Amino acid sequence: MVQLTVEEQARRDGRDGPAAALAMRVVTEAARMLGAERLVAIESAHIDGCLYHGDSGTLFAEQLVAGHGRVRVPTTLNVGALDLLHADRARLAPHPATMARRLMQAYLDLDCRPTWTCAPYQAGHRPSVGTHVAWGESNAVAFCNSVLGARSERYGDYLDICAALAARAPDIGLHRDANRCATVLVDCSGLDPRLVAEDAFYPVLGAWLGATAGSRIVAIDGLPAGLSDDRLKALCAAAASTGAVGLFHIIGVTPEAPDVATAFAGVPPAQTIRLTGALLRAARDRLSTTTRGQDAVIDAIAIGSPHLSVDEFQRLLGLLRGRKSRLPFYACTGRHTLDRLQALDLMDAVTAANITVVADTCVVVTPILPAGGGVLLTNSGKFAHYTRPNTGYDVVYGSLSDVAETAATGRLVRDEALWQ
């Protein structure tokens, strides 16, 4: 039985309008199914429901608009099915394109911010440690819980926007202290420090974590302090796509794990796993879906899942050293990054390198890659996981350096030395 406060009952009973009442009924019903005893007040939301999956989602969002719906907490939007800045990027048929555009507009009418990004935490949306929020999009949920220390369950379509309109979420799962403690310790101290110093290590660590953790909370020990947001982003995205990871800790790095004892709430780990280069090599190999290895012919390159930061664009341009891509090259990002690239006068260099910028959406959620399929090279663990089921392309996983060299030469270049 879910106990509502007087305030929550008033909202459910229509005091704040029909959409707020509908949202409160949906959140309460979700809480009942999940076995929650109460709701928790939230301070922000990130919405994944703005991606078109069919007309029903558009009609639902428009119903909320018609019921005078307005989000009650600061709310950012994940990607849609269209690049609103570059009209010809997504090749949707007229009807889905119209409905996808109506869906995106309805979420703006609900007062959500037009961020259209899967990296809202790099677009200024960073709730503080210990605050309750309702976020959708698996990589963002993992980053929000693990790196920011804010508290969110994995909110799916329609519960996310209902939570934002009701300003409440079910008090279950990762909202509660007891469910945030680590039970499994992963010891990285035996890994080659040169590997741990590479960007390409982090998506692979995430892919291994996602395949290993199950529903358990893992604490990783033995990584260097001061990990960049981009490395943590890649780790979160890979862990959340290859598995159902919503929270992990890194000892000495993430806010709820200043030391092992704190991360485990004083209880000894139920299991300790000593991570080896061989385990990571196997995880890396699983990210590629073609067995042709170094002989694979690459038909296209895509990076930017999660969306690229300015730093990542700068590193890519540095590695290209003025060379142009000889292959179709897609770089997915958000408006927050494009604005800064323009301010830094870097957009001309990106265009000159033959890089196609995709904003507001990405290449695995809407048809953008060249028709006909083939083999895609990516440095993203998340793209590696979703590319084949969503686009039909096979995948080769490589580092950002591999991506730059392959782009510049037009044939696959992969530095294997790192993984020997």
What are the residues facing 154 on neighbouring strands? 135
Binding mask 340-379 for other proteins (x = CB under 8 A): ----------------------------------------
For 150-186, b/e burial (b = at least 16 CB within 10 A) is bbbbbbeebbbbbbbbbbbbbbbbbbeeeebbbbbbb
The smaller minimum CB distance to other proteins, of residues 202 and 386, is found at: 386
Q: Least distance to other proteins from the beta carbon of 53, Å? A: 4
Q: Which of 9, 59, 268, 271 binds other proteins (CB under 8 A)?
A: 59
Q: Least distance to other proteins from the beta carbon of 137, Å? A: 8
The smaller minimum CB distance to other proteins, of residues 35 and 322, is found at: 35
Q: Least distance to other proteins from the beta carbon of 172, Å? A: 9
Nearest 5°: the CA angle 152, 153, 157 is 110
Q: Which stretch binds other proteins (CB under 8 A): 26-34, 125-133, 256-264, 346-354?
A: 26-34
Virtual torsion, Cα 302, 308, 311, 317, nearest 10 deg: 30
Q: Which of 25, 38, 326, 335 binds other proteins (CB under 8 A)?
A: 25
Q: Which of 10, 60, 315, 367 binds other proteins (CB under 8 A)?
A: 60
DSSP structure class, residue 132:
B
Q: Which of 49, 69, 149, 252 binds other proteins (CB under 8 A)?
A: 49
Residues 6+ apart with CB under 8 A from 242: 206, 207, 209, 210, 211, 381, 385
The smaller minimum CB distance to other proteins, of residues 231 and 385, is found at: 385
Q: Which stretch binds other proteins (CB under 8 A): 29-37, 110-118, 183-191, 230-238?
A: 29-37
Determine if the peptide bond prior to 306 is cis (ω within 30°).
yes
Phi-psi region of 410 (alpha: psi -120 to 50; beta: other; left: phi over 0): left
289 is a site residue for other proteins (CB under 8 A): no
389 is a site residue for other proteins (CB under 8 A): yes
The number of residues in the chain equals 420
Q: Which of 8, 57, 116, 336 binds other proteins (CB under 8 A)?
A: 57
Q: Least distance to other proteins from the beta carbon of 67, Å? A: 10
Range 155-160, long-range pairs (CB < 8 A, 24+ positions): 155/45, 155/48, 156/48, 157/48, 157/49, 157/53, 157/57, 158/26, 158/49, 158/57, 158/60, 159/26, 159/27, 159/30, 159/134, 160/45, 160/46, 160/47, 160/48, 160/49, 160/134, 160/135, 160/136
29 is a site residue for other proteins (CB under 8 A): yes
The smaller minimum CB distance to other proteins, of residues 8 and 312, is found at: 8
What are the residues facing 220 on neighbouring strands? 186, 250
Q: Of 56, 49, 62, 168, give the one whose Cα is nearest residue 106.
A: 62
The smaller minimum CB distance to other proteins, of residues 54 and 410, is found at: 54
Query: Cα-flanking dihedrals φ and ψ of residue 289, to 5°?
Result: -105, -5
11 is a site residue for other proteins (CB under 8 A): no
The smaller minimum CB distance to other proteins, of residues 56 and 276, is found at: 56
- Contacts of other proteins in 192-251 (CB under 8 A): 244
What are the residues facing 396 on neighbouring strands? 377
- Contacts of other proteins in 113-172 (CB under 8 A): 136, 138, 154-159
Phi-psi region of 110 (alpha: psi -120 to 50; beta: other; left: phi over 0): alpha
User: How far apart are alpha carbons 145 and 249 in whole angstroms?
Assistant: 9
The smaller minimum CB distance to other proteins, of residues 136 and 252, is found at: 136
392 is a site residue for other proteins (CB under 8 A): no
How many chain residues touch other proteins (CB under 8 A)?
A: 29
Q: Which stretch binds other proteins (CB under 8 A): 22-30, 183-191, 206-214, 401-409?
A: 22-30
Q: Least distance to other proteins from the beta carbon of 285, Å? A: 20
Q: Of 339, 335, 316, 330, give the one whose Cα is nearest residue 362.
A: 330
Q: Which of 43, 55, 192, 198 binds other proteins (CB under 8 A)?
A: 55
Residues that bind other proteins (CB under 8 A): 22, 25-26, 29-30, 33-35, 48-49, 51, 53-57, 59-60, 63, 136, 138, 154-159, 244, 389
